[in-house]
Amino acid sequence: MSSPARFAGVLSPVITPFCDDLDTHPDMLADHCRWLLSQGVGLALFGTNSEGNSLSVGEKIALLDRLVDAGIEPSRMMPGTGCCALSDSVALTRHATALGCGGVLMLPPFYYKGVSDDGLYRSYAEVIERVGDARLAIYLYHIPPVSQVGISPALIERLLRDFPRAIAGIKDSSGDWDNTAAMHARRWDDFRIFVGSENLLLENMRAGGAGCIAATANVNPAAIYALYRHWRDADAPARQQALAELRAIVQSLPMIPALKAITAHFTGNRLWRNVRPPLLPLDDDSGRTLAARLAGHGFTWPGRAPHTAADENSR
């Protein structure tokens, strides 16, 4: 079995819909995934903005199965499979790989702080060896502002030396361009470097990067993808500025509730506002203000099918 083609472009860390009882809503998720794919972006499920760590391993496996059954192409999916428990990471990674997912996005085990590169190396090595599948493609997930456990260039180099087929790339959500630039300077062969915000997309592409995995690709995918496609064009800096302005509006509020409020407003489906505790949904006034600010920025939501009451009742 050969390894899947490595990802490049824009991926959305897909927001996860919940019913009023906070159960997942697979049909709404599949609908959102279809729309994202139609806008040119891939699917980074179960990451930070997916509330991935508020989902159990069983829920993630069930959602992956439902998406494949709904016709979502698994090669376009990069589910998050990094958990604190080694056995959970192995089970979820094995299932995603067996389904044919194009890769997995893997946090380091993040509960214990101050762990060594040796400990992190052993964790990743154990997952790779226990999954034991030549199709496995791991995209490391570096998000120290949240996980408090970073992935150093020295660790990446060691993993690439010992597992060159399995280690495919990284999502650098440090927000620190110097960190990303340091990885580019290593010139690792076919190692795909994604930034975690479209604000750094142009800079990443100019440095030889693979693209971005960006929260606002949930609501503004086509414009972000357009910059990826046209980063060499003369108007690329203007495109980058427009993306940064829209992102600033969204992240002026808590990101996940804001993304869900935007989705609820523009699709007409109130269930999108639901988040799992400890997160809380935006209050109505904040949601209306956010929608008005986006409208003033010229924001549109193309290509979505109209919402019906039946959508809320299906699972």
Domains and CATH numbers, the chain: 9-231 (3.20.20.70)
Q: Is 295 helix (H, G, I), strand (E, B) or coil?
A: helix
For the beta carbon of residue 1, count every other beta carbon within 10 angstroms: 8
- Listed in sequence order, the residues at least 6 apart from 311 whose beta carbon sits closer than 8 Å to its beta carbon are 27, 28, 31, 269, 271
pLDDT of residue 1: 55
Closest C-alpha among 290, 260, 253 to residue 18: 260
Q: How confident is the model at residue 302 (pLDDT cuts 50, 70, 90)?
A: confident
Confidence bin at 100 (pLDDT 50/70/90)? very high
Q: Is the pLDDT score of 85 beyond 90? A: yes
pLDDT tens track for 110-136: 999 999 999 999 999 999 999 999 999
Nearest to 290 by CA among 256, 250, 245: 250
Residue 251: the pLDDT is 95
Q: For residue range 139-192, list pLDDT tens digits in order.
A: 999 999 999 999 999 999 999 999 999 999 999 999 999 999 999 999 999 999
